[in-house]
Chains A and B, each alone.
Chain A
Amino acid sequence: MYSAWSCWCRLPGRTADAAREAFLAPLRRCLSCVTDAQLYAAPSGEPEALALSENPLLLNSTVLPTVRLQLRQQYRLVHNTTAVRTEERWHVSTTAYQYRLDGERGEVLSWHWHPAAGVSYPHVHVSGDVSPLTRRMHLPTGRVSIESVLRLLLAEWGVPPRRDDWSQVLGEAESGFLEHRRWSGHSPDYG
């Protein structure tokens, strides 16, 4: 599930392994703000993928009795043969994501970007009684990062942080993402 035109980029590296590490390590650090669950990685496929070891991940919240979190991404390692700096020869490009928040009664919000599978633009699904919206609508968004979903949980959904420096950790990780991303949004094509 990937598209040639579509990618976003995290920190580059001198080798494929270095770029993968530069991609995964900040994510794990961000996840440590809410859980001690592990990140699973499938590092030798094309594309590669990551998922949480606990699925869904149960979190306490002041907004809902229980929040269930699912985070999944697919990504590719890209070799930039024209890079001038050796430390920028490889980078990771995200090719699809699904971030899902469930409550006791099921899905509440799901952020998607899966351009090779139907809808080309990043979007969100909103469930529940929010007429006239229906769950099947694809509401356009910009690119959504894992960090921003975690920040939402911690800052507005009342999920208790596991570390005091969570805001700094998320901010540092997201700044790297913002610095190296290749695009920030994509217009819906209703053709």
Chain B
Amino acid sequence: MSPITAEPGVQQLTRAEGRELVDRESRQVLGVGVDDFLCRYDAGTLDLDDEDVLGLVMLVPFARQDG
């Protein structure tokens, strides 16, 4: 992790770190890993009225960063 602003406390997660973050939460919320979660997200089969699921979806960019 490396700071991206002069303000302490903002950390840029690498793609691997981001995927780890999403994987951890996906297993808690859906009981599946990050790849299965992303497949369900892309298929549009997730219940976005579920607060935990919506929170997980908000993290998708962490798992899909470039590079």
- Seen from chain A, the residues whose Cβ lies within 8 Å of a Cβ on chain B are 1, 17, 20-21, 24-25, 28-29, 31-32, 36-49, 51, 53, 55, 70, 72-74, 96-98, 100, 107, 110, 112, 114, 117-118, 125, 136
Contact = CB atoms under 8 A, between A and B. Distances in A.
Interface in B4-22: 4-13, 15, 18, 21
Contacts of A32: 9
B58 A49 contact: yes
Contacts of B54: 98, 112, 114, 117
9 contacts: A24-B7, A25-B7, A39-B11, A41-B13, A46-B61, A49-B61, A55-B25, A74-B58, A136-B49
Contacts of B25: 55
B10 A49 contact: no
B11 A53 contact: yes
Interface of B: 4-13, 15, 18, 21, 25, 48-49, 51, 54-55, 57-62, 64-67
A25 B10 contact: yes
Given A45-B61, A49-B62, A72-B58, 4 more contacts: A37-B9, A41-B12, A42-B61, A44-B15
Contact of A21 (B4, B64, B65): B4
The 8 closest A-B pairs by CB, nearest first: A45-B61, A49-B61, A25-B7, A72-B58, A42-B62, A45-B65, A21-B5, A42-B61
